[in-house]
């Protein structure tokens, strides 16, 4: 009997401790239980996330954003990696830091515009990059080949070779002032972002490149957006984001994009000739002053200040001091319009320059040359 009493005494302490622990656990669970909230939701028949709500641009973004790429530069080429690093099975046994430790820096954005992998971006984005690394929205990466560049329009064409590339659709009708637009790019290198605004103006001259015909928008464009897409509300490309007007470095509601008509023309010439071919006269001029205009009784014109030796203008007999008043009978309003008229002509094309010299008008026949390539 005494032995039984001793055994029961020995069991009493652990049993009591176990009961105390169980009771404490039940008390804590009851104390920490999540309270049931009463919330209100609309019936599924009244609201469906599969249908965009009014004012949403999700379908446009879904169509356009996959074709907008981030552009980086790297001091080393991924092509120099050991082939084993591309094998998913063996890569786990190798040093992955070989990829992670590479020095890369964000440069800007680009837009895939062909199934062959052609990418439109800005010349200033890739001009000084020793290696150009393109990253897609789905995370895929590739080294891009430089196809060509045109500093005078601030456009460049790259190419990547990858399967199943998303391609940005091109708008077939021009957008109008007041239309909603979306800017898609990689601002400040934070990752792909979308901003919305309106098309504020067209035909803007900002003094940023030789050949400009900018679309102006108040959609936020920040450093890193350069080379990205400006789209309409259908997700169609209408421009390549290029620059902003800013006093502090950030967006102030004045952004500029190169229209697709100009961008696609430049790209086609780069693909065909390796560069952009433009007409050339070989002159420099200045606006006609009011006094000279009154003296010559000529309302518009361009006084020639320089004629380059052996240029088409020199060979045609043009001299410094001549006043260029017409090209092929079309009045010269200002130097910019005259330059655009000449550069739009094909090299070898014959044209007639009307100049005022010593108070008399002379008509000079000239054969358009090839504009030297800007560096």
**Rounded to whole angstroms, how far apart are CA atoms 228 and 185?**
5
124 catalytic, yes or no?
A: yes
- Placement of tokens 């000529």 in the chain: 298
**Contact yes or no for 140/157 (Cβ under 8 A):** no
Distance set, CA 332 to CA 140, 190, 272, 356 (Å) = 51, 47, 31, 12
**Contact yes or no for 168/111 (Cβ under 8 A):** yes
**Rounded to whole angstroms, how far apart are CA atoms 75 and 239?**
30
Q: How many CA atoms lie within 13 A of 5 on its CB side?
A: 2
Q: Give the pair of three-digit tokens for residue 287.
A: 């606006």
**Rounded to whole angstroms, how far apart are CA atoms 260 and 255?**
16
Of 123, 347, 140, 142, whose CA–CA distance to 243 is shortest?
A: 123
Of 316, 250, 256, whose CA–CA distance to 281 is shortest?
A: 316
DSSP lists the bridge partners of residue 201 as 216
**Rounded to whole angstroms, how far apart are CA atoms 336 and 339?**
5
**Contact yes or no for 107/71 (Cβ under 8 A):** yes
246 catalytic, yes or no?
A: no
213 catalytic, yes or no?
A: no
Q: Give the pair of three-digit tokens for residue 242.
A: 């290029």
Per 3-state DSSP, what percentage of the chain is helix, strand, and coil (rounded to 5)? Answer: 25, 30, 45
Q: Which of 124, 175, 242, 322 is catalytic?
A: 124
Burial class (CB in 10 A: 0-12, 13-18, 19+), 114: middle
Q: Which of 153, 226, 251, 354 is catalytic?
A: 226
Q: Which of 109, 123, 154, 322 is catalytic?
A: 154
**Rounded to whole angstroms, how far apart are CA atoms 227 and 239?**
9
- 249: Cβ–Cβ under 8 A, 6 or more apart, which residues? 223
Catalytic residues: 124, 154, 226
């Amino acid at each position: 009997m005494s032995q039984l009493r001793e055994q029961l005494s020995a069991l009493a302490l652990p049993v009591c401790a176990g009961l105390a622990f169980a009771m404490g656990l039940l008390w804590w669970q009851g104390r920490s239980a999540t309270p049931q909230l009463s919330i209100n939701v609309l019936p599924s028949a009244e609201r469906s996330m599969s249908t965009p709500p009014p004012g949403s641009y999700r379908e446009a973004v879904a169509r356009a954003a996959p074709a907008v790429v981030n552009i980086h530069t790297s001091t080393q080429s991924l092509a120099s990696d050991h082939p084993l690093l591309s094998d998913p099975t063996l890569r786990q046994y190798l040093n992955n830091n070989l990829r992670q430790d590479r020095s890369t820096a964000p440069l800007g954005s680009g837009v895939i515009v062909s199934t062959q992998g052609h990418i439109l971006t800005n010349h200033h984005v890739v001009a000084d990059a020793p290696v150009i690394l393109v990253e897609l929205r789905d995370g895929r990466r590739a080294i891009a080949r430089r196809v060509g560049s045109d500093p005078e329009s601030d456009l460049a064409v790259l190419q990547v070779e990858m399967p199943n590339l998303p391609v940005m659709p091109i708008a077939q009708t021009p957008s109008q002032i007041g239309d909603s637009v979306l800017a898609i790019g990689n601002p400040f290198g934070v990752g792909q972002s979308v901003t919305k605004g309106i098309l504020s103006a067209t035909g803007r001259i900002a003094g940023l490149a030789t050949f400009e015909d900018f679309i102006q928008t108040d959609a936020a464009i920040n450093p890193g957006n350069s080379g990205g897409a400006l789209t309409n509300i259908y997700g169609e490309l209408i421009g390549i984001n290029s620059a902003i007007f800013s006093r502090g470095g950030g967006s102030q509601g004045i952004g500029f994009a190169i229209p697709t008509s100009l961008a696609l023309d430049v790209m086609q010439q780069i693909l065909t000739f390796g560069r952009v071919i433009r007409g050339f006269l070989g002159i420099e001029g200045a606006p006609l002053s009011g006094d000279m205009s009154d003296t010559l009784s000529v309302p518009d014109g361009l006084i020639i200040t320089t004629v380059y030796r052996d240029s088409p203008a020199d060979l045609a007999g043009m001299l410094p001091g001549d006043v260029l008043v017409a090209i092929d009978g079309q009045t010269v309003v200002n130097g910019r319009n005259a330059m655009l008229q000449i550069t739009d002509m094909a090299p070898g094309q014959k044209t007639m320059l009307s100049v005022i010299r010593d108070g008399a008008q002379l008509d000079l026949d000239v054969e358009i040359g090839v504009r030297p390539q800007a560096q």
